[in-house]
Structure 1
Amino acid sequence: MAWYPGATRMELQPESDDQAAIRPTQLIVHSLAASWTAERTYEYWHDSTNLESHFGLGYAGDLAQYIGTQTRADANASANLRPDGTGAISIETASNLHATDEWTDEQVEKLIRVGAWAHQHPAHAIPLRLCRSADDPGFGWHAQYNAWNPNGHACPGPARIAQFKTVVFPGIVARATGTTTPEEDDVALTDADIDKVAVATVNKLLKGGALETSDVERIAKAVAARPATLTDAQVQALATNPALAEAIAEKVAAKLAARLAN
């Protein structure tokens, strides 16, 4: 069984020993619809239900693992164990009662760390792409496919689904590879994705495009917060050319404003 070294081990028994083995090919994120710590989630699954995920994540970033990732957990319906022996790693995350809030910064960081580990660990080697079907290896969220979510609920919630696409998953890719973003064929990011806007703008300006005046602080928040989307050459260009950073800031801020208005 594989245990993530960055999580507190709170092993559920008898599930950990009695449930079937899987070969993990996916990682699926969930919202708990409860503001529980990882320890409180363990207590609930231990004492009150036979349903469980592999991991539980509290608002403060407290992370526990309850079952080894090569053992079936029961949170993903048909993704838990397929006829070919493959299955999914599942992570339950604390949320408000209606699962309408975003993940905290602490939760985002832990999701990125676990995701990178799930890709890098030889027992999983989960590919760095969003799942393209219910059986396709990769990363996803509970409501993404009916086969994973036969009850049709919105878990982990619209705000977190958007956050997964634009923040968490790109962060996993960056952390796991140390590069920019995966190839276009590997992950379906929207045309409005901030990373693509930032990178395309930098490339244009590096080729001699017109510079404009804007607020440097905005580029610090909008692009520097996502530094792994830029190559070393692009980062160096920003460091030595404040006007370049200002121009990017204006373009990224405009893109953000357009997205928020939709």
Structure 2
Amino acid sequence: MAWYPFARKLELQPESDGQPAIRPTQVILHSIAAPWSVDRLFEYWKSTSLESHFGLDYDGDLGQFIGTETRADANAGANRRPDGTGAVSIETASNTRASDPWTGKQVEKLIALGSWLHHRHGIPLRVCRSASDPGYGYHRLFADWSVSGTACPGDARVSQFRNVVFPGIVARATGQSPPLEDPDMPSMMNESNAVDVSLRSGVWTGLAFTDAVLHSGPRRHSTLVHLLFADSTHKEARIEGRFYLTDTTGGNPSAYLTVTGKGPGGHQFQCSADVPGGRHLRFEVRATTPDGSSVRLLHRVLSGPYWAL
């Protein structure tokens, strides 16, 4: 079993020793619908047949009740599958309606823990695409993760997960951002464009969301681009995306590292960096097919926090 070194160990027995082993492939975030401390949550788990791996209170106190390679019963069908895979569950303090946002201290602990889980267990840095797909998610994301449906967590925390917490985990895990130390509250970017684009095979194409310019410097950002390609896309199509900087006229480009995927469906691209003054951040995509056929991009979404410098 694995214990996170930056959490208080509050081992829950007999569950910790008695429940079967899992191979962790997912991380699922919850709201407990109670403003409880970690110790209060620990006492609650001792009185029920349910439990989570971790508990996190409003002030950032993080406790671990069960090792991450042992089953915890908070995720219904994701607790442990027939192939031995399962989810790591993190319960977080909330108001009684589970409608409030995570505090800054909670956000920082979720990012740090999420990064550790990636490095410790190899959980891929993506949002789960199905109930069994490896990655990160929140309890209400898939019906199979609850017994009779759930509204946990509320809309405020779902927005934070998509725009702050998950991009922060990716940035931390890839070494692109330092730990947050009382950060200023960021502004949030959330733009989409549903106009279909036909991409010629092998040709880089700049994408506009609300505008072709994603950010204007000086600015710090953690940006996630999600692209959805048609089901008719060749299954061996190579999908490449990259962020790049230009001057204010669109010239003098300087590209970041290209990220590559394959085939139809959703693809995600993430960048956390500073945009210098007098520079613009943009994004481009290239689809290359074995037969030279074009690829249809159906939808694109841009999201993430940013700060003025």
With structure 1 as the length reference, what TM-score do the two structures score?
0.74
Match of 1:37 in 2: 37
Deviation at 1:51, TM superposition (A): 0.7
Structure 1 CA distance, aligned partners of 2:145 and 2:40?
25
Aligned residue among 143, 146, 149 for 1:149: 146
Deviation at 1:34, TM superposition (A): 0.3
Deviation at 1:200, TM superposition (A): 2.7
Structure 1 CA distance, aligned partners of 2:156 and 2:122?
28
Structure 2 CA distance, aligned partners of 1:179 and 1:192?
25
Kept after mapping to 1: 8 A contact 2:171/2:272: no
Q: Label 1:56 to 1:230 Cα distance change in 2 as closer, same or farther (>3 A).
A: closer
Structure 2 CA distance, aligned partners of 1:102 and 1:55?
18
Deviation at 1:119, TM superposition (A): 0.2
**Structural RMSD (CA):** 2.9
Structure 1 CA distance, aligned partners of 2:29 and 2:86?
14
Kept after mapping to 2: 8 A contact 1:199/1:230: no
Deviation at 1:178, TM superposition (A): 1.9
The percent identity for this pair of structures is 58
Q: For structure 2, list consecutive stretches of 5 or more residues without a partner in the other structure.
A: 178-188, 194-208, 217-242, 251-269, 282-301, 304-309
1:209 aligns with 2:249: yes
Kept after mapping to 2: 8 A contact 1:199/1:229: no
Deviation at 1:43, TM superposition (A): 1.1
Q: Label 1:208 to 1:95 Cα distance change in 2 as closer, same or farther (>3 A).
A: same
Q: Label 1:230 to 1:176 Cα distance change in 2 as closer, same or farther (>3 A).
A: closer
Q: For structure 1, list consecutive stretches of 5 or more residues without a partner in the other structure.
A: 181-188, 211-227, 248-254, 257-262
User: Match of 1:56, SS?
Assistant: strand
With structure 2 as the length reference, what TM-score do the two structures score?
0.63
1:138 aligns with 2:152: no
Kept after mapping to 2: 8 A contact 1:22/1:81: yes
Match of 2:294 in 1: none
Q: Write out aligned runs for 1:27-66 (5 A).
A: 27-46=27-46, 48-66=47-65
Which one has the bigger strand percentage? 2
User: Match of 2:215, SS?
Assistant: helix
Count of matched residue positions in the alignment of Structure 1 and Structure 2: 212
Deviation at 1:192, TM superposition (A): 4.5
Which one has the bigger helix percentage? 1
Q: Label 1:198 to 1:173 Cα distance change in 2 as closer, same or farther (>3 A).
A: farther
Stretch deviating more after TM superposition (71-80 or 170-179): 170-179
Kept after mapping to 2: 8 A contact 1:100/1:159: yes
> What residue identity is the alignment partner of 1:55?
F
